[in-house]
Structure 1
Amino acid sequence: MRDPYDVLGISKTADEAEIKRAYRKLAKKLHPDANASDPKAQDRFAELNTAHEILADKEKRGQYDRGEIDAEGKPRAPDFSGFGGGGPRRGPGGFSGFDGDTIFESFSFGPEGMRRSSARGGGGRGFEDVGDIFGFGRQRRSAGGGFQPQPGADMEISLPVSYEEATQGASKRVGLPNGKQIDIKIAAGTREGHRMRLKGQGEASPMGGPAGDAYVTISYAPHPSFERDGDDLRHAVDVPLADAVLGGKMRVPTLTGVAELAIPAWTSGGRTFRLRGKGLPNATGGHGDLLVRANIVLPKEKDEALEALMKKLREDAASA
């Protein structure tokens, strides 16, 4: 996974506005719908969303900058290689102990996030909570009186889907932090924030116990054509001047295809039309609406007859 700053093409001093601008620009360029013939489009788009998720969140960005999480948002494993710079001391018969400055850090990960604890060795005091440091103290007692290893940690994954996928349903391939690739079925009408449990697909247990679970939360990816307004969508359509004056029909894209919109005669620029049920899935099991704004456009080529007519109308209005 590449550095999130490199993915967005920004510097490490970029502010929130720069991050947002870079993300919106790349989202339109890399959206799978705009790159249907590219088999790697989905992967690039997922990488973009992961990078944005980290850098747009102040807490996650700080964790990444401090090296606490990696480019995928996963906590980095602790490094015990230096043992605090002192390392173990070897005596004539083997190891005789550790330097007084040696610090052991233990990390545990779960739904509440990352927790860190430390214990200092040396000085004749031995280790503090050594079972917690290396996992021996985190076993569960079974019904028969023995101990069972603690399960692996759960993991949280955000899965961006397009508006079309959420509305019509889709099958998405997801790469888990543990390297597994799984297919997830997105049901038609899935709303943002929907959370799915994948039993046994979380982190492996360090003590040989069952694996944790993976929880996948659906998020909406930005759309190149529609602007979200709650469960409603907004879209602008260019209406030729002649159709605005005389009336006409316009083809409007929707999440399920194309709809035909009737433009009444004497339609002013900025007028908004409502296509009911053409928006995003809502809490009642239905869908929001699509709000279409009319933008009046002039002919591409200069029209002398039109100019003459406009001059006459202006003169008539001035003399009235």
Structure 2
Amino acid sequence: MAKPDDPYATLGVQRSATQDEIRKAYRKLARQHHPDLNPGDTVAEAAFKKATAANDLLSDPDKRARFDRGEIDASGQEKAAGPSYRDYAQQGAGQRYSRAGTPGSGWNPEDLNDIFGSMFGQGQRRGAPQRGQDEKYALRCAFLDAVNGATQRLTLPDGRTLSVKIPAGTKDGQTLRLRGQGAEGVGGGPAGDALITVTTKPHPYFERRGNDIHVTLPVTIAEAVLGGPVQVPTPQGPVKMKIPAGSDSGTELRLRGRGVPAHGKQDAGNLYAKLSVVIGAPDDALKAFLADWTPTDPVNPRAAMEDET
């Protein structure tokens, strides 16, 4: 049997790496080699499985500590404890295979059972139930699916598909747990869990800050000067919002409860719309008006800059 690869080398991290460094290294490899992004590429699939197994071991503090101490191997299996075959072979003649080391007692078939029982552990011979390992996967979802919640299907390397429920308010980098969807247990033990790290795609207009959503809202000169209702996009659909007359670019208006929906113990966030006045191509009438227009109270929009220079 081939010797399992060193998990630190597989992820390309030092043995002193922090959990954050391990997580980042795994996410980079998962994105690079995921079967969904490399259909039919058996090399990429094998690399993805190796990275997942390495991350499964090193991201578990207990397993990592046991591996570092030499108690388990890179595949997470227990290393044989107790006396080895060499220990028995190096005993004196007549003692090597006698029961309880009694010299001259001769060989007994049960002696061989005792030897291998102590070499490989009685617990393993009895096949004690063991819980299956947790398996880690990466899932990329749309910005609005993470904000509002959705259900998405994930294809695993072994061909299985999981129906993943993405709760409203899921954050970029958050890990979801699907109980019983990991590796099968051993000896009748329960299956492990599937741990799914969600990566959120950026949105062309919305930006999330905590539970609040920010958007830059283009408005015309007339809408900025005269004010009035305009339609504003929100994660839950467009709504009407009144712009105060005389609004400048950079004015930020708030829509209460129109950000990330309420989830768990978190209240709904707000939506903040920052106005951006768009001139467009001015027609002749606007040009003629501005040419003859003398404001009653002239404003220098660069006054603050000039004071600093």
TM over 0.5: yes
CA gap 1:151/1:296 in 2 versus in 1, 3 angstroms:
same
Alignment-derived partner of residue 60 in structure 2: 112
CA displacement 1:35-93 (0-9 Å, x = unmatched): xxxxxxxxxxxxxxxxxxx9x9457658999xxx957973428xxxxxxxxxxxxxxxx
RMSD of equivalent CA atoms? 4.5
Comparing 307-316 and 226-235, the one that deviates more: 307-316
Q: Is the 8 A contact 1:189 1:285 kept in 2?
A: no
CA gap 1:63/1:163 in 2 versus in 1, 3 angstroms:
closer
AA at the equivalent of 2:290: M
Alignment-derived partner of residue 229 in structure 1: 209
Q: Distance in 2 between matches of 1:212 and 1:291?
A: 42
Q: Which entry has the higher C-alpha Rg, 1 or 2?
A: 2
Matching of residue 197 in structure 1 with residue 177 in structure 2: yes
CA gap 1:72/1:269 in 2 versus in 1, 3 angstroms:
farther
AA at the equivalent of 1:112: D
Gaps of 5+ in 2: 1-20, 33-42, 81-120, 299-309
AA at the equivalent of 1:295: S
Equivalent residue runs for 1:78-97 within 5 Å: none
Q: Is the 8 A contact 1:241 1:299 kept in 2?
A: no
Larger proportion of helix: 2
Q: Distance in 1 between matches of 2:197 and 2:75?
A: 31
Q: Distance in 2 between matches of 1:134 and 1:187?
A: 32
CA gap 1:317/1:274 in 2 versus in 1, 3 angstroms:
closer
Matching of residue 250 in structure 1 with residue 230 in structure 2: yes
CA gap 1:59/1:264 in 2 versus in 1, 3 angstroms:
same
Query: Of 138, 142, 166, which residue of structure 1 is paired with 2:146?
Result: 166
Q: Distance in 1 between matches of 2:224 and 2:253?
A: 13
CA gap 1:60/1:259 in 2 versus in 1, 3 angstroms:
closer
1:168 Cα deviation from its structure 2 partner: 3.4
CA gap 1:289/1:315 in 2 versus in 1, 3 angstroms:
closer
AA at the equivalent of 1:269: S
Alignment-derived partner of residue 292 in structure 1: 273
Alignment-derived partner of residue 256 in structure 2: 276
Query: Of 120, 129, 147, which residue of structure 1 is paired with 2:127?
Result: 147
Gaps of 5+ in 1: 1-53, 78-105, 119-127
Q: Distance in 2 between matches of 1:133 and 1:297?
A: 60
Q: Distance in 2 between matches of 1:267 and 1:182?
A: 50
Alignment-derived partner of residue 118 in structure 2: none
1:261 Cα deviation from its structure 2 partner: 1.4
Q: Is the 8 A contact 2:132 2:184 kept in 1?
A: yes
Paired residue secondary structure (1:305): helix
1:136 Cα deviation from its structure 2 partner: 6.5
Alignment-derived partner of residue 50 in structure 2: 76
AA at the equivalent of 1:256: Q
Matching of residue 304 in structure 1 with residue 252 in structure 2: no
CA gap 1:210/1:315 in 2 versus in 1, 3 angstroms:
closer
TM-score, structure 1 normalization: 0.53
Q: Distance in 2 between matches of 1:190 and 1:64?
A: 19
CA gap 1:153/1:133 in 2 versus in 1, 3 angstroms:
closer
1:266 Cα deviation from its structure 2 partner: 1.0
Equivalent residue runs for 1:113-128 within 5 Å: none
Q: Distance in 1 between matches of 2:274 and 2:55?
A: 52
Equivalent residue runs for 1:18-33 within 5 Å: none
Larger proportion of strand: 1
Alignment-derived partner of residue 195 in structure 2: 215
Count of residues in correspondence between the two structures? 221
CA gap 1:286/1:273 in 2 versus in 1, 3 angstroms:
same
CA gap 1:310/1:70 in 2 versus in 1, 3 angstroms:
same
1:274 Cα deviation from its structure 2 partner: 0.6
1:181 Cα deviation from its structure 2 partner: 0.2
TM-score, structure 2 normalization: 0.55
Q: Distance in 2 between matches of 1:57 and 1:231?
A: 24
